Amino acid sequence: MYRPLKFLSVLLVALVASLIFATPSFSDEKQDSSPDVEIIKVDDGSGIIPKPGSGSAPSSPTDRGGALQLGLLGLLILFPVVAILSVRRQAKRNRRSVNA
């Protein structure tokens, strides 16, 4: 009977500690509350996900969109398909052996 109580008390202490340390007063980032600050985001296509058509064609197989990446995509699609077909085939064999 004491074990669930101990678990709940530890969970409650962890929750309170995480809430205390997640407040902005303990954060390393300084809070700027001045209303005249304007944040402008400029997207020139050089981010993590570039805009379509903004890059260059792959010049080697290891470049983004090159032959090795396309081959890996093909393998990632092929392996689950082969696994599913194998499981279905084995299930059919097992059903036949049980019915025979």
Asked whether 45 and 54 are in contact (CB, 8 A), the reply is yes
- Give the pLDDT of residue 84: 95
Burial label for 63, CB within 10 Å (0-12, 13-18, 19+), is middle
Asked whether 85 and 91 are in contact (CB, 8 A), the reply is no
Asked whether 24 and 32 are in contact (CB, 8 A), the reply is no
pLDDT by residue for the chain (100 residues), tens digit each? 577 778 778 888 887 777 777 665 555 556 566 667 676 666 665 667 777 777 778 788 888 778 888 899 999 999 999 999 999 999 999 999 988 7
Single pTM value for the model: 0.42
